[in-house]
Structures are given as C-alpha cells and as structure tokens.
Amino acid sequence: MARLLALETSSERCSVALWWEGALSERQVDLPREHNRQLLGLIEALMAEHDARFGELDAIAFGAGPGSFTGLRIACGVAQGLALGAEIGVLPVSSLAALAHAAALRHPQQRVLTAVDARMGEIYWCGYQLQAQRPQPLLEEWLGPAAQIPLPAGLDLADTVGVGNGWSQPQPLVEALGGEPARIDAGLLPSAAAVVALALPALARGELLPPEAAQPSYLREQISWRKRADRGLSSGG
C-alpha cells in the first residue's frame, strides 16, 4: 500500500498528514506566521507516532498554492529537502482544489466556488464540480478583484457552496454571481488530509516530479508575466 506524507501551509493553518498503509493521520496548528517554526516539529511527531522513516515513503505531497507566499515557499522547500534526502519524488497539489475537497467532506452541494484573500483588493478564485468528492475544475485558477470574477458555465447557485476567507465579505462576489450560493463557509481552510486525498490518485498515475522540479503556484507572478508578454505582443515587440 501507498505511503505518503503531505504538507499544507498556504493559509494560517499549518497541517501535516500521513497516509500509511491505508490509514490517515493528521496534525495541525492554527498559528499564523509560525509555519517555519511549527512544520518540522509536526512532521517529526507524526512520523514518530507511526515509527515511520522517510526512506519508507513513496512520495511527499504539498499544497502548492495559490496562497500565502511565505507559506508556499516553506511547504515547497521542506518537501524538496525531505524528498531529496529520502531519494523520492514530490507531488504538488493545488491548494484551491484541496479547499474544494475539504468542502466536499463538509457540505452536500456538488459545486464549489473557492475564494481566498490575496490581499491588495484581490482574491484567488476557482470553481469546481464534485465527482465522488473529487473536485474537477470548471475554470482556470484566477487572481483579481471579486467584482470581476469569471463565472463557470451553467452555474446552479442552489447546488453551490462558497468556501474560503475570500467569502468573509461576500457582497462583491454575490453581486458578480447574480445571487448567493446555497451555503457560504468563509472559515474553511485547506488541509494536509485533503492534499493526501488528491495526491494519492496522482501517485497511482505515476505523476511524481523530481524534488528539484517542484515549484509553488504563486499565480500573481504568473499573471504578471502573462500581462507583460501580452503588452510585448501588442506593441509589436
């Protein structure tokens, strides 16, 4: 059976999960700006609880973002370092998809709209259709003002839940959607357990990356690069 360690530090929650021969264990703390101090201790405690060694793992998964820049760097760096030492691969997992999976375990709606505060008046945004609790993206992950969100085709708000702290001030999103989702859960956070659930199928498909190839998904930098490229094309450069 698969043996997988997962890390998620894209939000104020620092969480670690271990999938060990069919059993899931998780440890977490909600201490903003303390991830660099807390993460290794959580990992060591969880591994010791199962008398597990890093060399016995099949892979290390991590929440790759988008989310807190510092949190993403911490999770990616620790995953890379541990995987290099154990000579195993890594599995980056979308933190928005992990948030959508967490919603699937808590709410009955079959569509999930994830909104995470990106600061500077913007949110990280995506929409998902749930299939057997697995989130299937309806949109590309997006960054921008809540009033300008792209909308999934054929959205049925009566069967939709909005999750993430970007919903803590829902009015701009509600106006952009033309209505309110059936439920809003602004306090829901992505977790390492959700990262495990999404990483296991990827592991079975052989989608491992070498540790040095893993990168966080900052999204803001990616969009800035696209805008610069578009300006270059439009100017004939």
pLDDT digits (tens, 9 = 90+) for 143-187: 999 999 999 999 999 999 999 999 999 999 999 999 999 999 999
pTM attached to this predicted model:
0.91
Tell me: pLDDT of 232 over 90: no
Tell me: pLDDT of 223 over 60: no
Tell me which residue has tokens 């969480």: 15
Packing angle of the helix pair 95-106, 192-204 (nearest 10 deg): 110
Question: What CATH number labels 96-185?
Answer: 3.30.420.40
pLDDT at residue number 211: 97
**Sequence-separated (6 or more) residues with CB below 8 Å from residue 143:** 66, 118, 122, 123, 124, 125, 219, 220, 223
pLDDT digits (tens, 9 = 90+) for 3-48: 999 999 999 999 999 999 899 999 999 987 788 889 999 999 999 9
pLDDT digits (tens, 9 = 90+) for 41-87: 999 999 999 999 999 999 999 999 999 999 999 999 999 999 999 99
* 95 within 8 A of 66, measured Cβ to Cβ: yes
- Please state the length of the chain: 237
Instruction: Considering the domain delimited by 3-95+190-223, tell me its CATH architecture.
Output: 2-Layer Sandwich (3.30)
Domains 3-95+190-223 and 96-185 share a fold: yes
Q: Are β-strands 13-20 and 3-8 bridged in parallel, bridged antiparallel, or unpaired?
A: antiparallel
Distance CA 68, CA 129 (A): 25
pLDDT digits (tens, 9 = 90+) for 130-155: 998 899 999 999 999 999 999 999 99
Domain boundaries, the chain: 3-95+190-223, 96-185
* 62 within 8 A of 51, measured Cβ to Cβ: no
